[in-house]
Structures are given as structure tokens and as C-alpha cells.
């Protein structure tokens, strides 16, 4: 089994790293916060002192970080992955970042003989815990083949979609669809509630038809409970939609619906809800309608 280093033990990274441990992979972990590192050490991992230290001791390094600047710092910065990397190291960046940054980092990595994949994920904390994430991969076929068994420990579906950067393009497409699904769900449930029809019964009536979706099944039950504990925070979805908008502008692709939902999410963040689950977008509509969707 390949020795793996894991950098970034947040809501997603921590359970992903735990699944690698459960599968028997030798694991060294690093995070700027000591608490999740200690938790992983108690589960059987070794403690790394920096991203460079993690890279120096392993054959594969996985990064799972919030956004493009964090990946640049963790990989290209002082005591970053490339400072400790030996030629032949495989870097798998599983963060959701701007595709052009993935390409930039991969070029710097190649100068040091480091091979790279961008492999963002979808599914939120529940699927990270279960090891059933959807993993979208960009990079060379031969590198993908070498690490696919590692990715399959964390993902229920693992798909190579193209060259480096393609993984994050796919993730942006995913995040557009998820955001617009949540917005549509919110509008529909508010309409039912305002009309005096039980939203839970509406949900059960439509979930088996064409309007049914994974998003509907994941988010409506939580909205009915008023449970917006973060599986994927609004502030992170803002980051993804911002990256989608910037990428779309670079490519001259209009995405007007995404830009609207981005503004709704920004409004919630301003009101202190940036740390809520992205299903909490329904709160924006509740405020507009003057009514809550609750059991």
C-alpha cells in the first residue's frame, strides 16, 4: 500500500482521512488546527509538522482545503508540499478551487517532478463519512490509474473527466446544479406552505416523479426540521459559485441564474448565516414570504 499524507482536516477532510486509515493505508496528517490532528493520531495516523514534512515522508499527498489561496499556500508556499516533495510524488488536490489555479499549481509541481490530479468531491459531510463521495478527476490517465484504489476508498463514484483542471470544471457544474436545485426546492416549499398545503406531503408526492432529486431528498427533511447544521456551508457554496461566475466570464458563458442565487447566499451571509448548511438558503425565501417551512 502506498504511504499517504493528508493536508486539511476540516468537515470533509477529517472523515475522508479516517476512511483511509480504516482501509489500512499508512497515513501522516497535517492541519493548522491541532485538534483534528490529535483526533487522527488517536485513530492511528502519524502527525506531520508541516505540509513539507508530510510530503517528504510519503508517496502520495492529498490536500483538502477551503479555496484557491489555501491550496497555493499549502503547495507552493514556504514549508509547502513542493518544499518537501521528492521526484515522483503524486499530489491529489481534492479541494474545490478555480480550475486555472489547478493548472497553475500543476505546472509548478511538474517542475519538481511531482505529478498532480485535481479531484474535487460532491456529497457533503454525510457521504464523506460513508466513503460514498462523487469524485471528479482531472489529470493524466496513468496517474489516475495509479491512485484510483485510494480514491475509491473515499468515493462511491470516481470518474476521470479530462486533463488537469477538468475536475474543478466538473465540480463547478455540479455546484451550479445543486445551488439552483436548492433554490427551486425553497420556492416550491414556500409556495405550498403559504397556500396552506402541508409541505411534507407535497415533498412525498413529488419526490418519486420528474421533480425528484438527490438534493430534494437531502435538503427538504432538514428544512422541515429547521436543521441547518452544516454539511456544506453557505460560505463555501458562495466560494464555488464565485469561482463558477469568474470562470464563466472568462469563457463568455452566461450563467444568470447562478449569479442570482449567489446574491441570495451573500445576503444570508451578511445576516450571519454563512456557517449554515447550504440548504439554509430556504431562510432567504422564508424572510421574503413572511412564513417558515416547518413541521
For 193-212, the pLDDT digits (tens) are 999 999 999 999 999 999 99
Q: Say how far residue 37 (Cα) sits from the centre of its chain.
A: 20
Is residue 217 located within the same domain as residue 267? yes
Q: Report whether pLDDT(94) > 90.
A: yes
Q: Are residues 155 and 178 in the same domain?
A: no
Q: Is the pLDDT of residue 74 over 90?
A: yes
Could you tell me if residue 191 is inside a domain? yes
For the segment 111-130, the average pLDDT, to the nearest whole number, is: 95
Regarding whether 92 and 182 lie in a shared domain, the answer is no
Neighbours of 94 (CB within 10 A): 27
Domain carrying residue 155: 4-163
Q: How many CA atoms lie within 13 A of 47 on its CB side?
A: 11
> Distance from CA of residue 144 to its chain's centroid?
19
| Contact of 93 with 124, CB cutoff 8 Å | no
What predicted TM-score, i.e. pTM, was given to this entire model?
0.90
The catalytic position among 171, 194, 219, 239 is 171
In this structure, the answer to whether residues 125 and 192 fall within a common structural domain is no
Residue 119 lies in a domain: yes
CA-nearest of 130, 74, 78 to 97 is: 74
Q: Read off the CATH number of the domain in which 89 is found.
A: 3.40.50.720
Query: Could you tell me if 69 and 153 lie in one domain?
Result: yes
For residue 124, pLDDT over 90 is answered with no
Q: Is residue 295 part of a domain?
A: no
171 catalytic per annotation = yes
Residue 14 CA to residue 93 CA, distance in Å, equals 15
- The rounded distance, in Å, linking the Cα atoms of 206 and 219 is 14
Per-residue confidence (pLDDT) for residue 82, from 0 to 100: 98
* 158 & 21 share domain: yes
Last residue of some domain: 141, 163, 185?
Answer: 163
The reply to whether 135 and 201 lie within a common domain is no
Separation of alpha carbons 88 and 289, rounded Å: 57
Residue 63, judged by CB atoms within 10 A of its CB (0-12, 13-18, 19+), counts as: buried
The verdict on 178 and 115 lying in the same domain is: no
Do 27 and 117 fall within a single domain? yes
For the chain, the domain total comes to 2
**Mean per-residue pLDDT of the chain:** 96
pLDDT for 190 beyond 80: yes
Domain boundary among 106, 134, 163: 163
CA Rg, the chain, in Å? 20
Please tell me the chain's helix, strand, coil percentages from 3-state DSSP, rounded to the nearest 5: 55, 15, 30
For 85, which DSSP code? P
With respect to residue 15, please indicate whether it lies within any of the assigned structural domains. yes
| Tens of pLDDT, residues 202-248 | 999 999 999 999 999 999 999 999 999 998 899 999 999 999 999 99
Amino acid at each position: 500500500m502506498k504511504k499517504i499524507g493528508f493536508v486539511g482536516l476540516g468537515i470533509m477532510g477529517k472523515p475522508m482521512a479516517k476512511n483511509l486509515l480504516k482501509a489500512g493505508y499508512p497515513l501522516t496528517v497535517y492541519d493548522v488546527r491541532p485538534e483534528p490532528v490529535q483526533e487522527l493520531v488517536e485513530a492511528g495516523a502519524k502527525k506531520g509538522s508541516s505540509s513539507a514534512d508530510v510530503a517528504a515522508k510519503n508517496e502520495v499527498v492529498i490536500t483538502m482545503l477551503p479555496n484557491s489561496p489555501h491550496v497555493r499556500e499549502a503547495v507552493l508556499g514556504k514549508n509547502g508540499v513542493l518544499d518537501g516533495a521528492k521526484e515522483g510524488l503524486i499530489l491529489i488536490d481534492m479541494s474545490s478551487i478555480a480550475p486555472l489555479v489547478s493548472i497553475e499549481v500543476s505546472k509548478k509541481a511538474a517542475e519538481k517532478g511531482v505529478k498532480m490530479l485535481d479531484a474535487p468531491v460532491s456529497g457533503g459531510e454525510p457521504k464523506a463519512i460513508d466513503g460514498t463521495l462523487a469524485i471528479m478527476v482531472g489529470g493524466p490517465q496513468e496517474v489516475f490509474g495509479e491512485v484510483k484504489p485510494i480514491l475509491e476508498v473515499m468515493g462511491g463514484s470516481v470518474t476521470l473527466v479530462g486533463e488537469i483542471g477538468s475536475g474543478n470544471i466538473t465540480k463547478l457544474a455540479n455546484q451550479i446544479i445543486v445551488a439552483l436545485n436548492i433554490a427551486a426546492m425553497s420556492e416550491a416549499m414556500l409556495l405550498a406552505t403559504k397556500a396552506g398545503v402541508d409541505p411534507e406531503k407535497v415533498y412525498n408526492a413529488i419526490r418519486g416523479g420528474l421533480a425528484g432529486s438527490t438534493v430534494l431528498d437531502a435538503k427538504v427533511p432538514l428544512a422541515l426540521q429547521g436543521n441547518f447544521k452544516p454539511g456544506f456551508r453557505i460560505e463555501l457554496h458562495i466560494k464555488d459559485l464565485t469561482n463558477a461566475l469568474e470562470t464563466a466570464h472568462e469563457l463568455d458563458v452566461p450563467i444568470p441564474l447562478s449569479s442570482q442565487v449567489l446574491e441570495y447566499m451573500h445576503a444570508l451571509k451578511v445576516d450571519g448565516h454563512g456557517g449554515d448548511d447550504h440548504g439554509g438558503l430556504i431562510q432567504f425565501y422564508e424572510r421574503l414570504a413572511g412564513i417558515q417551512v416547518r413541521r
